Structure 1
Amino acid sequence: MTPKKRRILQAVLYELFAIAFVGPIISFMFDKSATSAIGLAFVLSSVALSWNYVFNALFERWESQQTIKGRSFNRRLLHGIGFEGGLVLILVPVMALWLKISVLSAFIANLGFFIFFFVYAIVFTWAFDRVFGLPASAQQQSEA
């Protein structure tokens, strides 16, 4: 699978689950209609999908320049922190505007999602790598 196809497949599968999880939670937590909550989940997921593609391209570029190859727990932890941390910075203002709540309230709500998605990002990426193999950037170089 080409790196571009791999990143697209990974991002789409990741976000399908995100919409299914986040929509009902938002509806319940903020007493919003299912339509509004699913709409927000779709917007959040679309932003996350774009960020996923960009972040993974940047991460794989960085990863390909590292002397130690493979994806250790620490590298997966770094990946999860970078992805989710960047996403929080992007999504908090979107949530605050959509839900008509303060940035602080949106940030606090986002912390709950962060905890779930931080673990989910690490587990999902591990499972995705097990099913589809490591990307070229993480594979050992064979000597000719």
Structure 2
Amino acid sequence: MGVLERVFHSVLFEVLAVSLSIAGLAIFTDHDVTRLSGTMIVIATMAMCWNYIFNLIFDYFVKGERVERTVMVRVVHVLLFEAGLLIATVPVMAYMLGVNLWQAFLMDIGVTIFVTVYAFLFNLTYDHIRLWVINHRQAAA
């Protein structure tokens, strides 16, 4: 995956994740949607940067075609990514929403559980669509 595609992948992932996370937090908390939106945009920006860096590192250590990754490799990928992100985002969420670290941790865990499942499904789908596009372009050439 080249730089441009990695950026596209990250932005697409985050736009969908932010929209769904704001909706979920608005349903399950009493925070203002505007405040939630600002918080989630900051966290998404942090996540995009981490996504790019983490996937470069992960791809360096886990060789081969992405579409051939086992379920276990995908589970480890998502868990490591989310653990690293959680460490950085809890203090930010606490500050921006004016809650204590425990409340921010609980909200962030809710978002993390959602995003973990979402990331697994998003990346699995993305990889298969990507392979289909590559094969389709090669067949057309």
- Name the TM-score, length of structure 2 as normaliser: 0.83
Q: CA deviation at 1:28?
A: 4.1
Of residues 121, 124, 140 in structure 1, which corresponds to 2:122? 124
| Contact persistence 1:11–1:52 (CA under 8 A) | yes
Residues 1-144 of structure 1 mapped to structure 2, 5 A cutoff? 2-64=1-63, 70-133=68-131
Distance in 2 (alpha carbons) for counterparts of 1:80 and 1:39 = 24
Q: What is the alpha-carbon distance in structure 2 between the residues aligned to residue 119 and residue 30 of structure 1?
A: 21
CA deviation after TM superposition for structure 1 residue 54, in Å? 0.7
Question: 1:133 aligns to what SS in structure 2?
Answer: helix
Residue type of the alignment partner of 1:102: N
Report the counterpart of residue 142 of structure 1 in structure 2: none
Higher helix share: 2
Q: Secondary structure at the match of 1:17?
A: helix
Does the 8 A contact of 2:91 with 2:101 survive in 1?
A: yes
Quote how far apart the aligned CAs of 1:57 are.
0.7
Q: Which amino acid aligns with 2:42?
A: V
Q: Where does structure 1 lack aligned partners over 5 or more consecutive residues?
A: 135-144
Identical columns (%): 30
Work out whether residues 24 and 37 of structure 1, in 8 Å CA contact, stay in contact via their aligned partners in 2: no
Normalised TM-score (structure 1): 0.82
Q: Distance in 1 between matches of 2:28 and 2:99?
A: 12
Tell me if structure 1 keeps the 8 A contact 2:36–2:97: no
- The residue type paired with residue 41 of structure 2 is F
Residues 78 and 120, structure 2, Cα contact 8 Å, conserved in 1: yes
Alpha-carbon separation, structure 2, partners of 1:72 and 1:28: 34
Matched residue SS, 2:68: coil
Question: Are the equivalent residues in 1 in contact too, given 2:35–2:97 (CA < 8 A)?
Answer: no
Q: How large is the Cα RMSD of the aligned pairs?
A: 1.9
Matched residue type, 1:24 = A
Could you say what secondary structure the match of 1:21 adopts? helix
Q: How many correspondences in the alignment?
A: 130
Amino acid at match of 2:46: V
1:42-74 deviation digits (Å, cap 9, x = unpaired): 11111111111111111111112x8xx930111
Paired letter, 1:72: T
- Indicate conservation of the 8 Å contact 1:92/1:106, yes or no: yes
